Amino acid sequence: MRVLLTGGAGYIGSHAAVELLEQGHDVIVMDNLANSSSASIRKVEKITSRSVELHVADLTDSARTDEVFAAARVDAVVHFAGFKAVGESIRHPLDYYRNNLDSTLVLLGAMARHGVRKLVFSSSATVYEEPSDRPISECSRSGLSLANPYGRTKAIIEQILADVATADPSLEISILRYFNPVGAHESGLIGEDPRGIPNNLMPYVSQVASGAREYVAVFGDSYDTPDGTGVRDYIHVMDLAAGHVAALERLSPGVETFNLGTGHGSSVLDVIRTYSDVSGKPVPYRRVPARHGDVASSVADVAKAQQQLGWRTTRTLEDACRDSWRWQSGNPSGYSDEG
């Protein structure tokens, strides 16, 4: 298939591009490069020895999006594009609603006009309300009663997709709810390159290990977990990428929703200790008060993805830390090292 990746130059998109190319698909990337770099696409081409068709364009621009669809002859879309920082969404909610919803509406309009019926949507475990069950299944409570606008945009988009699929039964849509993507490609050529202060734990730990930051702030110490720190389901980004290919290749009419995680939880201190061990670098940390809205534990029930997609993770937290360190130590300034 000729697969369009919206936001495909970003962290998860670039790793998905590698997996798609290695599985024999053609990849077209549409990205405005506001929070990514074209260097990631050059690295993807180096890893796979295949070319990627890159269109520098903003998905909220309907006319430009139509041009990309007309030029690229798209068979299917994987929709990554969107703002994704929880804290930023609380400070700038209108930006998140405008960008994430408008880009999706423009995309769906272009797909309809150009006869594209296959879509995989990059959603998030943030759509789940604070769960009472562990692990979290696709049937766990989700919706708009969430702690942040980012999660609400994902929940709204999921509802939009359900509505358009009801109106057009020929649409084939998979919604993938990610838990906590971490790591990098094993080559060390592509990885997570946050702008400014990282919003996620692993890149923050990486920067502390490299000496770029002084310490990791560990939020809270009295959660109902083995060591008092928050527990999350950390999935290696290449396992996540493989989940996208599995979902794409098993699309069928209607909408299906899948959790993508490992089914196992690790605490913040587990991640810090593991990263210190595999990198050989001390990762100092300091305890700070817990943040409002943080939950003690968030771990995926992945039985549905395993059964219906034939997909399961193969990489460990140690693998993720090792690959993350290879990327960080080889690219201390991220893609800006490329010039």
Active-site residue list: 150
Q: Which residue, 220, 302, 221, 291, is CA-closest to 265?
A: 302
What is the Cβ-side half-sphere exposure of residue 100, based on CA atoms within 13 angstroms?
A: 27
Q: State how far Cα 36 lies from the chain centre.
A: 13
CA 136 to chain centroid, in Å, comes to 18
- DSSP class of residue 142 equals B
**Residue 108 near residue 44 (C-beta atoms within 8 A):** no
Q: State how far the alpha carbon of 86 is from the alpha carbons of 149, 235, 297, 329, in Å.
A: 7, 19, 17, 27
Q: What are phi and psi of 199, to 5 degrees?
A: -95, -10
- 10 Å Cβ neighbour count for 25? 18
* Amino acid residing at 57: A
Q: Are 243 and 309 in contact (CB under 8 A)?
A: yes
Please tell me the distance from the alpha carbon of residue 5 to that of residue 10, in angstroms, as a whole number: 10
**Using CA atoms in the order 110, 239, 293, 208, what is the torsion angle rounded to 10 degrees?**
-110
Residue with tokens 């594009």: 81
